């Protein structure tokens, strides 16, 4: 836009309408900011919006040779296949179940941690502990999975070493379906609870100190202050974070699932995105997998939008 | 610490319980790392028998010797540095000018462009269309493809745009008086004033590049292009069910477990080195990014 306009600056302007002249002057004066924006816009078009155009293969009999545009339409056929496919339905159900467990156990963990940090009196102790518990957030999922695989190994792992000390037989944690979700959710808490507490600590830091001062005058102890002042004060933050979490129900960190699951645990571990990965990228059923991905994305979109509307109504500030 | 003697007995008890709970969680966070380090320095036999608990058993460097001799380890280590440095620079080239433009009130279509970018946070085409797009763009198995295709995300642009918008106009006006154009205003006024925000975004970029795994695994086929995380994954996956390796290793004093642990240690060490420097930024950054249009 900017370039077109500025490349012919000497041409006499003959618009009868003053609006066009003003627009011309605007681009002539401000072309630099449009030039700065251009690469970003092109990047979004090429890497994020063009795949959205490619999503039409969810409604097509996609063939690599014909390409996205040339493949014939098949309507809702892939979606009919999906909703009669036990593996896909299982993946949807697993996604929701894992998210629900994450919500139940993973959501309170950083809140509790933040409340505890707030009660630690020794600043150095608090600082050191914080530095350590934030660390796992920065570790890659491959390493996290490597640690989990090593620690839960039936013969070599520390967990089974402890179990054998207690006199029990070793447990094959990573090959038994009933262990996948506890391990996955527990790993998530270990990795993210510390980092997640930062938001709540910031909320606690924003609580008006005079509330505590008057509570001290009234003879309240720390425990009472935590329940009567701190928790009610950070309740809006808790609710907003909860809404965000619910909005992200479809977003199970599938990278970690791929690294930890195996065919014998698919039953409890396989989520929508891992199913998409296997069907699409490993087996080459691109159209069916794209349909599953589209289903996931639409559900996620509706949930996030709903979450945003609710939080906007609740807190009068939207999440973005 | 503060006014300890003024605390009631109940409060002292509470404080002690809290400190113990925090201590337990901290130890639980740290322990797996210590355990892995101990395994990496243990003999293969001790590790396989599950004897390692907290310190190395039959301490040896054999596992490290095995990895450091593997040329693929060094190749993927180098590649990770290329992806991290190249990717972070690429991100900045897009994000800084883009965020500046979006922060300008005089930008026409500003609302549209903001929505255009924010929309990608809420709706994502998914794995398959993204992959097919990369193939159509001829960016499969391309190091440049990895660097370019993951350079930008909406969150980072919005974070920096918010920061730019908060800069008082008076700073800019002084530069404009001296005849500065937009590029000069950005470079000489906005960038220096936004060091904390830029440092935060740089940090996010570096961490996500260093840890990037899934798309590198999917998009890269050549061994000479894979990053450390993919190499680590291959090693974990192949060593654990490679019988031939099991025979060789016992004689050599290392095992699948100790080699895996040694690679984990090698790839964590750089993170640990930079971690203290970045810590002060991410606490601020996560809140900056927080929650505003």
Token couple for B19: 């400190």
- The values of phi and psi at residue B65, to 5°, are -55, -40
Write the residue in A132, A276, A301 that is nearest to B123 by C-beta: A301
Q: Return the biggest CA–CA distance within chain A.
A: 94
The verdict on B273 touching A (C-beta cutoff 8 Å) is no
The predicted complex's ipTM stands at 0.90
In chain B, the residue whose alpha carbon lies closest to the alpha carbon of A33 is B101
Residues of B in contact with A259 (CB under 8 A): 233
Q: Break chain B into its structural domains and give their ranges.
A: 77-219
The two structure tokens encoding residue B98 = 């883009």
Residue A264 has a CB neighbour count (10 Å cut-off) of: 13
B125 touches chain A (CB under 8 A): yes
Check if the beta carbon of residue B200 is closer than 8 Å to that of residue B282: yes
Residues 6+ apart with CB under 8 A from B35: A147, A150, A151, A158, B52, B53, B54
Interchain CB distance below 8 Å, A139 and B211: yes
Which CATH fold topology does B77-219 show? MetI-like fold (1.10.3720)
* pLDDT tens profile B96-126: 999 999 999 999 999 999 999 999 988 999 9
- Residue range A215-225, pLDDT digits in tens: 989 988 889 99
Residue B142, chain A, CB below 8 Å: the answer is no
- List the domains of chain A with CATH numbers: 2-70 (no CATH), 77-315 (1.10.3720.10)
- Write down the pTM of the prediction: 0.89
pLDDT in tens, chain B (293 residues): 456 676 788 888 898 999 999 999 999 999 999 999 999 999 888 888 888 899 999 888 989 998 999 999 999 999 999 999 999 999 999 999 999 999 999 999 999 999 999 999 889 999 999 999 999 999 999 999 999 999 999 989 998 999 899 888 888 888 888 888 999 999 999 999 988 889 888 988 998 999 999 999 999 999 999 999 999 999 888 876 655 566 566 667 788 889 999 999 999 998 888 888 777 777 666 665 443 33
3-state SS, one letter per residue, for chain A? CHHHHHCCCCCCCCCCCHHHHHHHHHHHHHHHHHHHHHHHHHHHHHHHHHHHHHHHHHHECCCCCCHHHHCCECCCHHHHHHCCCHHHHHHHHHHHHHHHHHHHHHCHHHHHHHHHHHHCCCHHHHHHHHHHHHHHHHCCHHHHHHHHHHHCCCCCCHHHHHHHHCCCCCCCHHHCHHHHHHHHHHHHHHHHHHHHHHHHHHHHHCCCHHHHHHHHHCCCCHHHHHHHHHHHHHHHHHHHHHHHHHHCCCCCCHHHHHHHCCHHHHHHHCCHHHHHHHHHHHCCCHHHHHHHHHHHHHHHHHHHHHHHHHHHHHHCCCCC
Chain A touched by B234 (CB under 8 Å): no
Rounded to whole angstroms, the Cα distance separating A64 from B247 reads 44
- Residue B18 structure tokens: 């809290």
Give the one of A140, A273, A319 whose C-beta lies nearest to B211's C-beta: A140
pLDDT digits (tens, 9 = 90+) for A241-291: 888 888 888 888 899 999 999 999 999 999 999 999 999 999 999 999 999
Query: Any chain A CB within 8 A of the CB of B6?
Result: no
To the nearest whole percent, how much of chain A has pLDDT over 70? 92
List the beta bridge partners of residue A60.
A73
pLDDT reading at A139 higher than 60: yes
Place of tokens 């540095």: B81
B2, B133, B151 ranked by CB distance to A54: nearest: B133
Give the pLDDT confidence score for residue B247 in this predicted structure.
Answer: 58
Q: Which residues of A77-110 are buried (b: 16+ CB within 10 A; e: fewer)?
A: bbbebbeebeebebbbebbbebbebbbeebbebb
B102, B83, B80: which is closest to B156 by C-alpha?
B102
DSSP state of B42: S
φ and ψ at A75, to 5 degrees?
65, -135
Distance from CA of A304 to the nearest CA of B (A): 7
């Amino acid at each position: 836009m900017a370039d077109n306009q500025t490349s012919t600056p000497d041409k006499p302007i003959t618009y009868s309408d003053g609006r066009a002249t003003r627009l011309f002057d605007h681009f002539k004066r401000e072309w630099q900011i449009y030039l700065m924006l251009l690469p970003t816009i092109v990047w979004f078009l090429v890497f994020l919006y063009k795949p959205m155009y490619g999503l039409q293969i969810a409604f097509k009999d996609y063939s690599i040779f014909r390409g996205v545009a040339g493949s014939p339409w098949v309507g809702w056929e892939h979606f009919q296949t999906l909703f009669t496919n036990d593996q896909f339905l299982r993946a949807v159900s697993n996604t929701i179940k894992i998210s629900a467990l994450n919500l139940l156990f993973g959501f309170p963990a950083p809140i509790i941690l933040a409340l505890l940090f707030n009660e630690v009196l020794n600043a150095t102790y608090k600082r050191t502990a914080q530095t350590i518990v934030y660390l796992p957030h920065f570790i890659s999922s491959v390493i996290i999975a490597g640690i989990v695989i090593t620690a839960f190994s039936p013969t070599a792992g520390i967990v089974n070493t402890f179990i054998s000390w207690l006199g029990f037989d070793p447990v094959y944690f990573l090959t038994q379906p009933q262990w996948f979700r506890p391990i996955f959710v527990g790993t998530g808490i270990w990795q993210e609870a510390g980092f997640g507490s930062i938001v709540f600590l910031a909320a606690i830091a924003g609580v008006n100190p005079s509330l505590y001062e008057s509570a001290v005058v009234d003879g309240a102890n720390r425990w009472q202050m935590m329940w009567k002042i701190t928790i009610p004060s950070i309740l809006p933050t808790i609710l907003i974070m909860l809404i965000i979490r619910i909005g992200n129900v479809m977003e199970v960190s599938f990278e970690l699932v791929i690294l930890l699951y195996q065919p014998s645990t698919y039953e409890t571990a396989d989520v929508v995105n891992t199913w998409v990965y296997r069907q699409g990228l490993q087996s080459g059923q691109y159209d069916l997998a794209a349909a599953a991905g589209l289903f996931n994305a639409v559900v996620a979109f509706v949930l996030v939008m709903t979450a945003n509307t609710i939080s906007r109504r609740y807190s009068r500030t939207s999440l973005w | 610490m503060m006014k300890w003697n003024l605390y009631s007995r109940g409060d002292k008890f509470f404080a002690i319980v809290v400190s113990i709970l925090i201590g337990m969680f901290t130890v639980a966070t740290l322990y797996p790392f210590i355990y892995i380090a101990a395994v990496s320095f243990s003999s293969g036999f001790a590790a396989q028998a599950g004897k390692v608990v907290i310190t190395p058993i039959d301490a040896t460097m054999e596992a490290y010797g095995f990895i450091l001799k593997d040329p693929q380890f060094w190749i993927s280590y180098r590649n990770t540095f290329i992806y991290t440095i190249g990717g972070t620079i690429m991100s900045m080239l897009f994000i800084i000018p883009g965020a500046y433009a979006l922060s300008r009130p005089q930008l026409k279509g500003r609302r549209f462009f903001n929505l255009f970018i924010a929309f990608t946070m809420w709706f994502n085409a998914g794995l398959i269309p993204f992959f097919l797009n990369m193939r159509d763009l001829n960016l499969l198995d391309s190091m440049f493809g990895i660097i370019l295709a993951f350079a930008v995300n909406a969150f980072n642009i919005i974070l920096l745009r918010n920061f730019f918008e908060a800069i008082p106009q008076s700073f800019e006006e002084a530069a404009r008086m001296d005849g500065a154009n937009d590029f000069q205003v950005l470079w000489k006024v906005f960038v220096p004033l936004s060091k904390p925000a830029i440092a935060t975004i740089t940090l996010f970029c570096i961490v996500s590049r260093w840890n990037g795994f899934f798309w590198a695994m999917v998009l890269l086929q050549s061994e000479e292009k894979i990053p450390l995380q993919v190499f680590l994954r291959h090693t974990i996956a192949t060593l654990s069910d490679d019988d031939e390796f099991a025979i060789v290793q016992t004689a050599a004093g290392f095992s699948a477990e100790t080699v895996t642990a040694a690679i984990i240690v090698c790839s964590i060490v750089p993170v640990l080195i930079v971690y203290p420097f970045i810590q002060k930024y991410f606490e601020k950054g996560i809140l900056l990014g927080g929650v505003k249009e």
